[in-house]
Amino acid sequence: MRLTRRFFLGGLSVAPLARANYSAATGTPDQRRLMALQIRNNAATFENELPLPDHPANGDEDRYTSHIANFSKGLPHNAQGEVDPQAYGALAAALTSGQWSDFEAVPMGCPDPAQRRKFTNPESGAAFSLMGADSHHLSIPAAPRLDSAEQASEAVELYWKALARDVPFTRYDSDPITQAAAADLSKMTDFRGPKAGGKVTTSTLFRGVTPGDITGPFLSQFLLKPIAYGPQLIDQRVRTVAPEIDYLTDFASWLQIQNGFHPSVADQFSDNVLYIRNGRDLANWVHNDVLFQAGLNAINVVLDGAGGKAPLNPGNPYVSSLTQDGFGTFGDPYIAALVPEVAALALKAVWFQKWYVHRRLRPEEYGGLVHNRVANKINYPLHADILNSDALAAVSKKYNSYLLPQAFPEGSPLHPSYGAGHATVAGASVTILKAVFDESYVIPNPVVASADGLSLVPYTGPDADRLTVGGELNKLAANVAMGRNFGGIHWRTDYANSILLGEEVAIRMLMDLKLTYNEEFEGYTFTKFDGTRITV
């Protein structure tokens, strides 16, 4: 599908995104200045005249005056873990006014500033961007309601992810925990993860929903293959945390963390440096990464037998040039710079959704509702699918509570769950890389981590010759986003809808950049997350 004004506007008449008709190279200084102004004006006018999207929330904030369905971590809570309504109201008022002084006056649950965790940057959701779409000009669907079957099924998946953190990805087919997880999720009323033959299987378990996600190994090749940073060749082994150590499984420590205290314990790292082999390793990776690290690494991954990086997108004007190579435009330095650039735009977009639209509760907060519903008979409106699940019974047996075990001592960050920052940045970064590289290129010599994580071994599955750059980039976005879910801090819909938000951020940035080139450039053609083709 070719990207046009009609694609975005549905026929709305606006000035086209077009270059001026005089030479950028040979014009006078005054002409150059006017051309720069025209480019900025055209881009701004185009964005300004797009229809404003709706920002639908799920209605839970109004439905439950106790705010049990909304993010409240860091505010004061009562003995049951319910937020103080006046404190929640003060936070909502600050988000409405946007005034620094109102944010500073929000009552916090931890009285000692030295022990207190702070909210993560709510005001960035109100910041403007000078390239691409304004954060308020992008939207995601409403999150599932607290009482819905979809919300319950997502919780069941997270309980199983917690139980399966130490199961090697290569043993999902044979391990009793992952077999039980697939069977339990198959019974859910409204589970929207990938299935085979209408059932969740160990081959689809905990995977993403985009093209390439269920092809090949669980982990993307871009999290396994070595990385070339100039003369440095870096393998992708990581510092790992000790197995079988989970957090916030007793109500007292859970409540203290909800009130915004720093945790009293820290990550317990093992002595091993290993390739990512299981959900705990993946969760630890996204716990400590630089936010756009996966995308930046992917640019520099050495593909064995390919003589370096994958080929460039055929739309790159220098692919067919007889006399020129790209560098500051369309070349390696330019491509590398696009990833952190789009990440900054993506964060503004998703922070607006988090703080100013949805304020969705974190999974650990939902786990508190589950615990109080079952253990303390508080009649919270939770769907029967979570209450009757095999996952909940298994967690209760292992931890003697119904709380959602967390992989991180502090649980989630202090910002709402929906959308997800990692997922939005991953979606944006992957979209950039699918645009600049040849996504159809088949990655040679695919690998998987051994069950002990000590080495990489050849992947020899029947689909080993179908691992394309595009499919493995899609999988990379899923791995990064769903790795946060392995930590217990995000929902499946946080991933699924946030990568689409990041994709749109990247597309709109690429549209603006297209105005600035001097090269003869028709645009990049690539495949979106929904499988459709687009030219930007």
Q: What's the confidence (pLDDT) of residue 5?
A: 31
Is residue 302 pLDDT above 80, yes or no?
no
Structure tokens at 382: 């939770």
Which pLDDT tens digit goes with each residue over 231-285? 888 899 999 999 999 999 999 999 999 999 999 999 999 988 999 999 999 999 9
Is residue 229 very low, low, confident or very high in pLDDT (cuts 50, 70, 90)? confident
Please give the residue range of the domain that contains residue 365.
58-536
Using a 10 angstrom Cβ sphere, with 0-12 exposed, 13-18 middle and 19 or more buried, the burial of residue 131 is: middle
Which of 51, 73, 92 delimits the end of a domain? 51
Is residue 313 pLDDT above 60, yes or no?
yes
Please state, in angstroms and as integers, the Cα–Cα distance from residue 229 to each residue in 88, 232, 254, following that order: 46, 5, 42
Mean pLDDT confidence for 442-452: 95
Please state, in angstroms and as integers, the Cα–Cα distance from residue 152 to each residue in 147, 192, 415, following that order: 8, 11, 22
**Residue 120 three-state SS:** coil
User: Same structural domain for residues 31 and 106?
Assistant: no
Which pLDDT tens digit goes with each residue over 351-391? 999 999 999 999 999 999 999 999 999 999 999 999 999 99
Instruction: State in Å, rounded, how far the first CA of the chain is from the last one.
Output: 10
Range from 117-121, 303-307, 327-331, 402-406 carrying the lowest mean pLDDT: 303-307
Q: Which of 67, 358, 422, 490 is catalytic?
A: 422
User: Same structural domain for residues 405 and 338?
Assistant: yes
User: Same structural domain for residues 437 and 477?
Assistant: yes
User: Same structural domain for residues 21 and 115?
Assistant: no
Question: What letter represents residue 38's amino acid?
Answer: Q
Which of 51, 66, 83 delimits the end of a domain? 51
Is residue 23 very low, low, confident or very high in pLDDT (cuts 50, 70, 90)? low
User: Same structural domain for residues 397 and 282?
Assistant: yes
Q: Which of 358, 371, 383, 415 is catalytic?
A: 415
Distance (Å, whole) CA 473 – CA 463? 16
Structure tokens at 2: 């070719």
Q: Where are the alpha helices (DSSP H) in 300-406?
A: 332-352, 363-375, 384-387, 390-399
Our answer to whether residue 415 is catalytic in this structure is yes
User: Same structural domain for residues 46 and 75?
Assistant: no
Which pLDDT tens digit goes with each residue over 393-419? 999 999 999 999 999 999 999 999 999
Across the chain, mean pLDDT equals 93
Which of 9, 33, 51 delimits the end of a domain? 51
Mean pLDDT confidence for 58-86: 98
Is residue 178 pLDDT above 70, yes or no?
yes
Q: What's the confidence (pLDDT) of residue 27?
A: 79
Q: What's the confidence (pLDDT) of residue 306?
A: 41
User: Same structural domain for residues 267 and 338?
Assistant: yes
User: Same structural domain for residues 396 and 530?
Assistant: yes
User: Same structural domain for residues 29 and 79?
Assistant: no
* Parallel, antiparallel or unpaired: strands 447-449 and 238-241: unpaired
Is residue 307 pLDDT above 70, yes or no?
no
Total tally of structural domains belonging to the chain: 2
User: Same structural domain for residues 184 and 294?
Assistant: yes
CATH code (residue 506): 1.10.606.10
Tally the C-alpha atoms within 13 A of residue 303's C-alpha that lie toward its C-beta.
Answer: 20
Structure tokens at 396: 């209760």
Cβ-proximal residues to 74 (8 Å cutoff; 6+ apart), any chain = 108, 109, 110, 117, 118, 119, 259, 260, 414
Is residue 50 very low, low, confident or very high in pLDDT (cuts 50, 70, 90)? very high
**Ramachandran assignment for 214, one of left (phi > 0), alpha (psi -120 to 50 degrees), beta (any other):** alpha
Work out the percent of the chain whose per-residue pLDDT is above 70: 94
User: Same structural domain for residues 96 and 16?
Assistant: no
Is residue 321 pLDDT above 90, yes or no?
yes
Q: What's the confidence (pLDDT) of residue 24?
A: 67
Q: What's the confidence (pLDDT) of residue 4?
A: 34
Mean pLDDT confidence for 57-69: 97
Could you tell me which of 426, 460, 459, 464 has the C-alpha nearest to residue 442? 464
Is residue 136 pLDDT above 60, yes or no?
yes
